[in-house]
Structure 1
């Protein structure tokens, strides 16, 4: 497997991880589908969403695959009055990644990274390695360490 920016960063930091690969379905890029392909439950995946606040600008949210952002909670954390998901068309220019392959590690620019407290409850989680079809199996506490992420409570289970 070829290295990605995310795996290079983890290697440099001496953080242990495993690489998991799966077949990509262009029509199914969500965390639930990735979990299904890997044979794990969606609560063992960590998805990365790039959002923009009216006051704080662009930042990154990492949360469990079976959760969704609670915008009211997120707004109270960031001080924004309006937060929107960044359009897919802007992901590559902002992060260097495409939808279905966004990793909180190795982005083009340094953004504030918020990691939902529910996402760190598992011993290990699967997150994007920065390329569609490639995931990293890692301790969520190591994700916090590697990204210098802030652990906050901003998600709820999907209905």
Structure 2
């Protein structure tokens, strides 16, 4: 039996005594998306969320957690943050600010705690699945615990379907 990998995201949850379930999946960025990850782990795709990082004109960073099947609406995201305008953080800057690489960015355990927002419609569910902080790792936990640990808040963030 292989050694259980502990990521910064998992260590943060452990330190906060948060119950979670960690899953591992195999694949690479070219052939693995959130829908496939959900199926591989027998999880409801509605629970799987992606973590996006955006910045304001003043270079303030914000974290957005939205369902993998939806697209971030930058105008709604800016409204939630109180900024006039925000734009996505370039992938090349992701590791520098968060400690995470594209495809493994978790809202948990970033280098710094940034203002964090969860798509409002997601808070109707009890659970959420987010990146475990490393490619190939995901974490399922209660939404209330996620919001508490990242000091997050719900907001309307996604484009209309």
Length-normalised TM-score, structure 1 = 0.89
2:73 aligns with 70
Cα pair 1:46 1:119 within 8 Å, conserved = no
More strand as a share of residues? 1
Q: Which runs of 5+ in 1 are unaligned?
A: none
Could you tell me how far apart the structure 1 residues matched to 2:33 and 2:22 are?
18
Could you tell me how far apart the structure 2 residues matched to 1:121 and 1:30 are?
23
Partner SS, residue 137 of structure 1: strand
Deviation at 1:121, TM superposition (A): 2.1
Tell me, yes or no, if structure 1 residue 109 matches structure 2 residue 117: no
Residues 76-129 of structure 1 show CA distances to partners (whole Å, capped at 9, x for unaligned) of 222323221111111111100001111111111221111111222222221111
Say if 1:157 and 1:23 are closer, same or farther in 2 by CA, change over 3 A: farther
Deviation at 1:75, TM superposition (A): 2.0
Could you tell me how far apart the structure 2 residues matched to 1:157 and 1:139 are?
25
Q: Which runs of 5+ in 2 are unaligned?
A: none
Say if 1:104 and 1:46 are closer, same or farther in 2 by CA, change over 3 A: same
| Bigger shift: residues 11-20 or 21-30 | 21-30
Number of corresponding residues: 158
Length-normalised TM-score, structure 2 = 0.88
Partner SS, residue 50 of structure 2: strand
Say if 1:85 and 1:147 are closer, same or farther in 2 by CA, change over 3 A: same
Partner SS, residue 106 of structure 1: coil
Matches within 5 A, 1:110-125: 110-125=113-128
Could you tell me how far apart the structure 1 residues matched to 2:108 and 2:70 are?
21
Q: After TM superposition, which residue ranges in structure 1, 4 or more long, deviate above 4 angstroms?
A: none
1:139 aligns with 142
Say if 1:83 and 1:16 are closer, same or farther in 2 by CA, change over 3 A: same
Cα pair 1:23 1:37 within 8 Å, conserved = no
Deviation at 1:43, TM superposition (A): 1.5
Say if 1:30 and 1:94 are closer, same or farther in 2 by CA, change over 3 A: farther
2:35 aligns with 32
1:151 aligns with 154
CA-based RMSD of the aligned residues comes to 1.8
